[in-house]
Amino acid sequence: QVQVAESGGGSVQAGGSLRLSCAASQFTARANCMGWFRQAPGKEREGVASIGTFYEGNSATYYANSVQGRFTISRESTNNTIYLQMNNLKPEDTAMYYCAADSNPWICGVTWGPNSWGRGTQVTVSA
C-alpha cells in the first residue's frame, strides 16, 4: 500500500544542478530509511544516498563515494518527503533515479534493500 513517487528529473549541462523530490504516501513508520538509487543503461542499479531516521529523533545520512560532496539528501520533519540536491552534475550521473523507502532504519546505508520503490525519474547530463 506504500506509494513512492519521484519528481524533478530533467536534462542539464555538466556543472548544472537539479533537485529531486520524493513523497512516500501511506508510509507511517516513525523510524525508517528513505533514499535514492540510480541505474544507467548497461549498468547495475546502485545506491546514491539515503537517510535513516530513528525513534530517538536522531538521523544518519549515507552517500556513495561518486556523489560525496556534490549531492545532499534531506528529509522533511513533518512528512515522509525527501529531497536530493544534486550540484556540479557530471555526464556519468546520467541515469534513471529511483526513490525508495523501508520501515527499518537499520538497513540504511549506501547499499540497502528497501521494500518500496518509485517508478523513477530520468536525469540526463550532457557534456
Average pLDDT over residues 15-35: 92
Q: Which of 119, 116, 120 is nearest to 9 (CA)?
A: 120
Please report the pLDDT score of residue 100 as a whole number: 97
Q: What pLDDT, on the 0 to 100 scale, is given for residue 26?
A: 85
b/e code 85-105 from CB counts within 10 Å (16+ = b): ebeebeeebbbbbbbbbbbeb
Please name the amino acid found at residue 53.
Answer: T
96 pLDDT more than 90: yes
The string of DSSP codes covering 62-85 is: EE-TTTTTTEEEEE-SSSSEEEEE
| Per-residue pLDDT tens over the stretch 3-22 | 999 999 999 999 999 999 99
Q: pLDDT at residue 78 above 80?
A: no
The yes-or-no verdict on residue 1 having pLDDT over 90 is no
> What Rg, from alpha-carbon coordinates, does the chain have?
14
